[in-house]
Structure 1
Amino acid sequence: MQLTENRPEEQYYIHSLGPDAIQVVEDRYSRSLILSPFEGVRDWPVASVDALETHHLEPILEWSPDVVLLATGRTQRFPAREIQVEMLRNNVGLEVMTLGAAARTFNVLASEERRVVAALIWEPQRGGR
């Protein structure tokens, strides 16, 4: 699913999502990552929302976001209470959604120059092709 046509060169954005990769600008990723429109992309060693621990939030919080979009794969699954408490303690909003919804929302907020970080948990496609 292509999400954008053209964006400013100095901004990172999600260009498309497919069954085998997330495309950020021109680079394709088949792993979990964090993304900021102005800071860039970092690998994020989180395999599932169940594996998410508070120390995984450190690289996200380094970017001082106002809001974090937590993408939990193809289905929305909420993280442990400790994750939500840690975000509140740091005065950062947390929105939990599917990967597709997070990608679309990230691009809208980034286009408005909001301090947003997308924390994208990548789940490999199971079965099928």
Structure 2
Amino acid sequence: MKLHLHKSEQQYQINGVDSQAITINQQPYTQSLIISDDALTTDWFSGAWETLDAQALAAILAFKPEVVLLGSGDKQRFVHPKHLQAFQAAHIAVECMTTAAACRTFNILTAESRKVVAALLLEKHLTP
């Protein structure tokens, strides 16, 4: 099987993730963040998953995504449906998954040139 080097036009790529850091472009980040293929917000949210609300999620809308991936840490957690009304009104798909799964899915979707945004929480932020 031939393997070809894929050179991406993306400005931001996720290289790794664990419960303490998300590595983007070889730089580790130790806080929750929002990432798209061409933008990175590192001062997004610092609370526990249970305190994530519509106001915190509204920052994601500024990226004008088609798909939003919500990484909830080491365990899959879901956002209350009432907090997703703005996304539904804008016809934006929202998927909740572990942060590691969200990172993998982000890389796949951006490689397909999809307009995806990942809002990623680290496990250390999930305990009050």
- TM-score bracket, shorter-length normalisation: 0.7 to 0.9
| Mean CA deviation greater in 107-116 or 84-93 | 84-93
Measured after TM superposition, the shift of residue 13 of structure 1 is 1.2
What root-mean-square deviation, in Å, do the aligned CA atoms of Structure 1 and Structure 2 show? Answer: 2.2
| Alignment TM-score, normalising by the size of structure 2 | 0.84
- Residues 100 and 59 of structure 1, relative CA distance in 2, 3 Å threshold: same
Q: Describe how 1:1-129 pairs up with structure 2 within 5 A.
A: 8=8, 10-124=10-124
Per-residue CA deviation, residues 19-38 of structure 1 (Å, 9 max, x unaligned), is: 42110112211111000012
Distance 2:46 2:125 in 1: 16
**Cα distance between partner residues in 2 of 1:64 and 1:110:** 14
- Tell whether the 8 Å contact from 2:46 to 2:125 is kept in structure 1 after alignment: no
The residue type equivalent to 2:85 in the other structure is V
Q: Which runs of 5+ in 2 are unaligned?
A: none
1:49 and 1:62, CA in 2 relative to 1: closer, same or farther beyond 3 A? same
Q: What fraction of aligned residue pairs are identical, expressed as a percent?
A: 36
- Which TM-score applies when normalising by structure 1? 0.83
* Distance of 2:59 and 2:28 partners within structure 1: 21
Question: Following TM superposition, by how much is the alpha carbon of 1:122 offset from its aligned partner in structure 2, in angstroms?
Answer: 1.3
Gaps of 5+ in 1: none
Q: SS at the partner of 1:124? A: helix
- How many pairs does the alignment contain? 122
